[in-house]
């Protein structure tokens, strides 16, 4: 029955796409990592496939004060994350946002994000012609399956907390220093 459950998964994730835009980007397997009560931030993960060259340029959610597009990479055996201005989506290529890689960072959460919740998330894409489109998602909350990413994210949350006002430029500098 593995095949039929896969089809169900595709059908469900298609329902999350409500916005109709210029170059509609397909979003699959979207999920947000559940948090514990005192946790300040979390990540959203998904697979994005754009029919034409596009860039994920913005993300927003009412559950967090700041939402940014981040990447993670190993630097001298230490996992570091940083904000990127946009995530390129080459035509027809599936780009995966996953723990330990690209992710949508939700910071200064207004409350705990619990397993079973549906988190509203708005993604803004820009086509190669400069036209923007948005996609509204309701993203299910799941616990993290592997613990590998948790360490990096807790360090990240502390960095943002001490950085004060998280403006696009100065807040990010503070974040870097925290590491
Ligand atoms: Cu991050």
Task: Calculate what percentage of the chain has a pLDDT beyond 90.
Answer: 63
> Which of the pair, 112 or 166, is modelled with greater confidence?
112
Model pLDDT for residues 125-173, shown as the tens digit of each residue = 999 999 999 999 999 999 976 444 444 444 444 334 333 333 333 333 3
**For 120-146, what is the HEC assignment?**
EEEEEEEECCCCEEEEEEEEEEECCCC
Given pLDDT bands bounded at 50, 70 and 90, which one contains residue 179?
Answer: very low
Ligand 1 midpoint to CA 157 (Å) = 8
Dihedral (C-alpha) 97, 132, 55, 85: value to the nearest 10 degrees?
-90
Ligand 1 midpoint to CA 53 (Å) = 24
Model pLDDT for residues 68-106, shown as the tens digit of each residue = 999 998 888 998 999 999 999 999 999 999 999 999 999
Ligand 1 midpoint to CA 158 (Å) = 12
Which pLDDT score is estimated for 121? 98
> Which of the pair, 33 or 174, is modelled with greater confidence?
33
Which pLDDT score is estimated for 125? 97
Domains and CATH numbers, the chain: 13-147 (2.60.40.1890)
Enclosing H/E stretch for 77? none
Distance CA 94, CA 92 (A): 7
Closest CA to 128 of 49, 20, 46, 23: 23
Ligand 1 midpoint to CA 7 (Å) = 31
Please provide the size of the chain in residues: 179
Dihedral (C-alpha) 27, 105, 152, 165: value to the nearest 10 degrees?
170
């Amino acid at each position: 029955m593995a095949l039929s459950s896969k089809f169900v998964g595709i059908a469900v994730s298609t329902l999350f796409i409500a916005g109709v835009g210029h170059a509609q980007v397909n979003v699959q397997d979207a999920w947000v990592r559940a948090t514990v009560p005192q946790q300040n931030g979390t990540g959203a993960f998904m697979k994005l496939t754009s029919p034409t060259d596009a860039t994920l340029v913005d993300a927003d959610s009412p559950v967090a004060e700041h939402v940014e597009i981040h990447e993670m990479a190993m630097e001298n055996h230490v996992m570091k994350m940083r904000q990127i201005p946009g995530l390129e989506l080459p035509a027809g290529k599936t780009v995966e946002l996953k723990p330990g890689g690209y992710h949508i960072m939700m910071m200064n959460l207004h409350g705990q994000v619990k397993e079973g919740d549906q988190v509203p998330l708005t993604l803004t894409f820009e086509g190669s012609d400069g036209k923007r489109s948005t996609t509204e998602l309701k993203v299910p909350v799941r616990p993290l399956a592997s613990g590998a990413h948790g360490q990096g994210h807790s360090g990240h949350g502390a960095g943002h907390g001490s950085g004060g006002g998280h403006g696009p430029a100065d807040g990010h500098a503070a974040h870097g220093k925290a590491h």
